Structure formats: structure tokens, C-alpha cells
A and B are shown apart, each in its own frame.
Chain A
Amino acid sequence: MPRNGSFAILFNTLVVMFMLAPLVIVCLVAFTPENTLSLPGWTWSLRWFRKVFEHPDFVTSFINSLWLATVSASLAVGLAVPASLAITRGNFPGRQALEGLFLSPLVIPHLVLGVALLQMFARIGATGSFVWLALAHVVVITPYAMRLLIAAMTGYDRSVEHAALSLGASRLTVFRRITLPMILPGVSGGWLLCFINSFDEVTMSIFITAPSTITLPVKMYMYATESIDPMMAAVSALIVGLTAATALLLDRIYGLDRVLVGQR
């Protein structure tokens, strides 16, 4: 087993602390009984958490975000599975171009996309449409699913599918019983990455959400520009808690690094 030197341990500790400190502080602030952003002293309070749930628009935007992330992650994975199958197995002209096309949203700033989509939505009358919002999210999150799925499918032994075919399985059965279970880590990992990215997306969503489709990050941003009070900390703490629980679940089921790196 490789052992880290004391310098490496110190360095890593500092990095982890540097990254975690803001999260820890925001979670602590959420429990303050005061009216300002301050660390709680001897008395802790849940008043700001109660306040969150007294704001029905926050709860609605949270449900909007959950729903949006679920729908767009599912659509993105539904698109990415056949696309990456074609890209990793097919031998057709334009295969590379197709891969580039699917991964290209990664390099386009969300700000630019947001402005562009705002104009397009206004033109086609899609402003305030949940479906178009979801489609916009699909565009920006699909690359994450593609990366994982392409990794999961590269080096995949096709003769396993041939074996199933030779044993009398139909093409659909081969996909359902053999291919899908074998790429499942890529599928589920991709879905979760997509979900997180969609849930977290704010830059583009600011431009293209309407009051009826507003997402939690956008709502938080708008609230924070008007007033600074510990309720923002409480919302953040809730999201941190939810994310941590999801990450823990993911790690328990597949192993986080395997899901995120897409390796067996």
C-alpha cells in the first residue's frame, strides 16, 4: 500500500479544507437565530428552515427543479444511449463529426446559449414553456452522459452479443438482457451526472425561465440580489444535504470514482 508523506497529507488536508470550508460555514450559518448572516453562538435555531417552507415560491421552484432535472436527465440518457452505441460501434461517415456535435455543448458558454435561446424562444413563442426549458437543459447535459457511456462501451466485447444471438435471442432481447445490463453503470452514472448538472444550472436558466417555470437556483439568485438574510444559507444547507445524500447513495451502489470516471 502506498504511503503518503507528511507533506502530502498536509497539502491534501489543506485542499480539502479549502474546498469544504465554505460549505461548512454556509451550513452553520443556516442554524443562526439572528437576522444577519452570522455564525450561531450557543443557541441554534431552525427558524430559517421554517422560513424557507413558508415561502411557497421556493418550494415550487424546488419542485420545478427536481422535475426538470428528472425529465431532462432521462431524455438526455435516452438520447445518449443510442447515440453512443452508434458512435462506438458504427463505421459510417460522419461518425467523428457526430461525436463532436454531441460533445460540443461542453465548450459553449452557458451565458451565450442562454442569450441565444432567449431570442429563439421569444421568436417561436416558447417562453415559459416547460418542454422547451427541458430541451435546452438536455442540450447542455447530454455531453456528460455521452462521455460516461462512450467510456463504458469502448472495449466492450461484441462477441457477448453474438453469443446471445446464436442462442436464439432476438435483437431486442439481446439489448434488454445483455447490452443494457453490461453498460448499466454508464447509464445510471450518466443519468445522475445529468441530473446534478441540470439541477445546478443557473447561467443559462436565468435567461429562459419564466415565473411559471422558475428553477431553484434561479430563484435563489434573484432572492439574493434583493436581500441577504440567512434563509439563503438554509436553502443552501438543504441542497448540500440532498447532494451529499445522493453522492453517498451513488458511492454505495457503484463507487463514485467508477461512476464519474466510467471505468470498471
Chain B
Amino acid sequence: MPFLELDALSKHYGPVKAVDDVSLSVEQGEFISLLGPSGCGKTTTLQMIAGFVDATAGRIRLQGRDITHAPANSRGLGIVFQSYALFPHMTVADNVAFGLEMQKVERAERARRVEQALALVHLDAHAGRYPRELSGGQRQRVALARAIVIRPPLLLLDEPLSNLDAKLREAMQFELRTIQQQVGTTTIMVTHDQAEAFSVSDRVVVMQSGRITQIDTPYEVYEHPASEFISRFVGKTNLLPPATDGGPQRHVRPEKLMLKPAGQGRADATIVDRFFLGSQWLYHLESPLGPMVVVQVNDGSPAHPPGTAVALDWDDAILRTLPEGGR
């Protein structure tokens, strides 16, 4: 029996199918990401699990118990909101203690667990502060501590890192994963950022127009996307002509194409533009096969200036074809 099971879950607003026939099984301790563009239904799905949105059809089962229409305050889930949703008139410690108070945990035990949770997110020194006195990253961690202190069976994260600047976001990604593994809570995170989904998740659930279009490990989603849409959503891709007439089009990721001296590869190409990304160079090329994108590791050797004639080469084994009917 799966730990959490979504069974043909749907949410319709009049004729609009915000979430349509979504089925998903989550094992205990798993970190799952719902990934997709805005409006794909990922947040509505999360809100149905949380109990803030009532499902039109389908079932939600948590540990075998049907919670589809249970009130939100009876589900006992830990939720981290995109806006953090801290209680502005309470101190950090009171914010974290609120859930325990609702569970009628006695005072001494409450204080001990609040301290523990704040230590876990490295905020023990800020217990007496108010949310307005904290930075964005600190607020985010208070929200996390408040959610996990009640020892929820399931942790729901709604775009938890989207309000942080890039550097902090990356640091928090790893911290989030570390904390999740320490406490072992089954986690579902909603995100539109594929890098975020890939770096922390055990499995990624790709959603599009209210439906699930792929469920796989991050590696599989990147290497074997189920559709061209997914392929382009999770990274850049180059189209190569079919191997045989009438065969499927082939795809290759930019970092898997090699640049060779002119005439020594499988297709001639000219560098149109180059972009320096620090650890990598990104090239835009023009070739008889069409426009191409190539990413090369910055190994210290000089980059090719625009206008350089080069050749493209690749290993046939890394070419991907998309499943029939993949959109």
C-alpha cells in the first residue's frame, strides 16, 4: 500500500479542468516534485492534498485513510507556503510553537521541541525575534521549522524557494534536502524550476494543462523526456533529422554535442554567438541541419569567436527519439 495515493484526482472550475485525472503513488520518505509551468495544476493539486481546495472527483488516501474531503485542520500536514505565511504578531518561537499548542503538547515538551526544530534550521539564536526582523532566507527556515515541528506524516512545499535570490536558493535547496533526509518526512514540493526539482527530488512529476505527463527520476526526465514539451521545459535541445526517411526526429542535449575543427565532424557549422556562463560556454551555431545550441565546459582553453567555422560531432548512442504521440 503506498504511503500517499492520489487516485484520479480532479478539480474543475466550471468548464476549466484545473486538475484532470491525476493519479500518483508516493512511498514513505520519498521527496516528490510537482514540476510544470504556471497554470499546469500543480499548486491546485497541492492545495487539494492540503485540504484548502475541495476535489471535484477522485480520492486522496494518506496511510490508507481517505482524506479527500477531510477538513484542512484535521489532516496534520506540514505546509510551507510560497509567501512563508508566518504569523507577523508572534515571535519566531511562538510561530513554531503554534502547531504544538494546537495539539495540546504540554509546555515543557513544547519548549524542548521548538528549540530542537529551530536548531535544525540554525535559527536557535533568533527565537525571540519577530518575522519582520528576519531576512527572507531566515523566514523561509522559520516556516520550515513550524511545519516539521508537528512531526507531520507529509510535508507540502509550495514554491518554497522562489522568493529567495539565486545564491541563497541554491544553498537552501541542499539544506532542504538534508533536513528532509534527517527527519525522513515524505515530502511533496511544487515548483516551476526544473533545476530545483532535479537537485532535491527522488522523483519528478511533470504536469501540463492539469494532467501528469511524466513521472520519473530527475535523470530519466532529463535524458528520456516523454514529450518534446517536457524536453524543452527541463533543458535545451537540438533537433537532428531522422536516421531514415520517415523515421522519428532525433534529439540531443547541447552539452552532448562536440565541437571539432572544420571538416572533421558529421556536420559543418558556423559560430553565430557565444555566451560566457562561468563554468561553461554557450554557443549558438548555424548549420545545414538548422540552428544548434552547444554547451562546452570552460576548461581554460580559449573560446571560439563568432564567425569561426567548426564541425559538429556526436555519438549516435546519446541521440534520443521521443515516444510516438509525445507532444
Contact = CB atoms under 8 A, between A and B. Distances in A.
B79 A164 contact: no
A260 to B, nearest CB: 21
Given A157-B85, A162-B72, A182-B89, A168 B52 contact: no
Interface in B120-179: 143, 146, 150
Contact of A168 (B86, B88, B150): B150
Contacts of B85: 157, 159-160, 162-163
Contacts, number: 61
Interface of B: 50-52, 72-79, 81-83, 85-89, 98-99, 102-103, 143, 146, 150
Contacts of A169: 73, 98, 102
What are the nearest 8 A-B pairs in CB distance?
Answer: A167-B99, A168-B102, A159-B85, A163-B85, A159-B81, A166-B79, A181-B89, A160-B85
A160 B84 CA distance: 8
Interface string A31-53: 00000000000000000000000
A162 B52 contact: yes
A177 B102 CA distance: 11
A163 B150 contact: no
A38 to B, nearest CB: 53
A170 interface: yes
Contacts of B72: 162, 165-166
Could you tell me the dominant secondary structure of chain B's interface residues?
Answer: loop
A178 interface: yes
> Which of A159, A163, A182 is packed against the most chain B CB atoms within 10 Å?
A163
Given A159-B85, A182-B88, 6 more contacts: A160-B85, A163-B79, A166-B72, A166-B77, A168-B103, A170-B73
Contacts of A13: none
A173 B102 CA distance: 9
A169 B101 CA distance: 9
A182 B74 CA distance: 24
10 contacts: A160-B86, A162-B81, A164-B98, A165-B73, A166-B78, A166-B79, A168-B73, A170-B73, A178-B87, A182-B89
Interface of A: 157, 159-160, 162-171, 173, 177-178, 181-182
Contacts of A159: 81-83, 85
Nearest to A178: B87
A166 B103 contact: no
Nearest to A174: B73
A165 B78 CA distance: 11
A161 to B, nearest CB: 8
A162 B87 CA distance: 11
Contact of B87 (A160, A165, A166, A171): A160
Contacts of A162: 50, 52, 72, 79, 81, 85
B125 to A, nearest CB: 23
Contacts of A181: 89
A178 B50 CA distance: 19
Contacts of B74: 168
Contacts of A164: 87, 98
Contacts of B98: 164, 167, 169, 177
Nearest to B74: A168
A173 B73 CA distance: 11
Contacts of A166: 50-51, 72-73, 75, 77-79
Contacts of B102: 167-169, 173
A168 B77 CA distance: 9
Given A166-B75, A173-B102, A157 B83 contact: yes
Contacts of A160: 85-88
Nearest to B75: A166
Nearest to B95: A163
A170 B104 CA distance: 13
Contacts of A165: 51-52, 72-73
Contact of B150 (A167, A178, A182): A167
Contacts of A157: 83, 85
Nearest to B100: A167
